[in-house]
Amino acid sequence: MGEPFLSVVGVSRTFPGPPQVHALRDANLDLNGGELVAVVGASGSGKSTLLNIMGLLDTPTTGLVRFNGVDTADLRERERDGLRSRGSGFVFQAFHLVRHLDVVHNVMLPLVHQHAARATRRERAEAALTRVGLAHRQHASPRTLSGGEQQRVAIARALVHDPPVLLCDEPTGNLDSENTDAILELLRGLVSVTRAVVIVTHDQQVQDCADRRVEVRDGRCGSRGAT
């Protein structure tokens, strides 16, 4: 196996108080292409903090994060932003769609920040929507979509720039069982040798479909294969 896509090495994250909060303590995690990883643990255990650090939305208090072998601590803020926008896609429980934009323009947003040509943005957004089965709703307002459809749009937006790492924070938390099944099937199908998918979840169904489970307990990580 080659270099991990992403490595979290001895990471701790402390938030100042009072009282001071130790969200992560000496966390270690390697993420490789071709795997779906479920990150589990009780509320407040540090799961979302770990995901934010993996996605370069937050920085460790101590320790380091390597992305494709690059130590992100050595990067300037602009370089970190560029690496995050190219290397990661984010999917959230609350969808976070822009209500005044139609579906296709929501999906195009990451490419706007990458200064891609307009024709390229449109082409890639339409391809991403086709991949999640929503090409026929590209001109719809997010307000007219079901919860499952909104989450598919959010996944298309996270995929539009073809990131090697897809980070999902409770992506099925607001969905019924039927839509949960559909979103899990979609996410499972996105795993490839060139992409890893990480899902923070409380849902046993999500854990059961993962290749590996990482348990976060009191800010510390423990990893085991799915059974």
The structural domains of the chain, with segments of one domain joined by +, span 6-225
Q: Is domain 6-225 annotated with CATH 3.30.565.10?
A: no
For 23, 85, 127, 129, 163, the CA distances from 158, given in Å and listed in that order, are 26, 10, 13, 11, 8
Strand partners, 31: 6
Question: Which DSSP symbol is given to 137?
Answer: G
**The pLDDT value given to residue 227:** 46
Residue by residue, pLDDT tens for the chain (227 residues) are 568 999 999 999 999 978 899 999 999 999 999 999 999 998 888 999 999 999 999 999 999 999 988 899 889 999 999 899 889 999 988 899 999 999 999 999 999 888 889 999 999 999 999 999 999 999 999 999 999 999 999 999 999 999 999 999 999 988 999 999 999 999 999 999 999 999 999 888 889 999 999 999 988 887 766 54
For 22, counting Cβ atoms within 10 Å of its Cβ (0-12 exposed, 13-18 middle, 19+ buried), the class is middle
For 56, left (φ over 0), alpha (ψ -120 to 50), or beta?
Answer: left
35: how many CB neighbours lie within 10 A of its CB? 17
pTM score of the predicted model: 0.92
For 51, 90, 139, the CA distances from 168, given in Å and listed in that order, are 8, 6, 25
Q: In whole angstroms, what is the distance from residue 119 CA to residue 123 CA?
A: 6
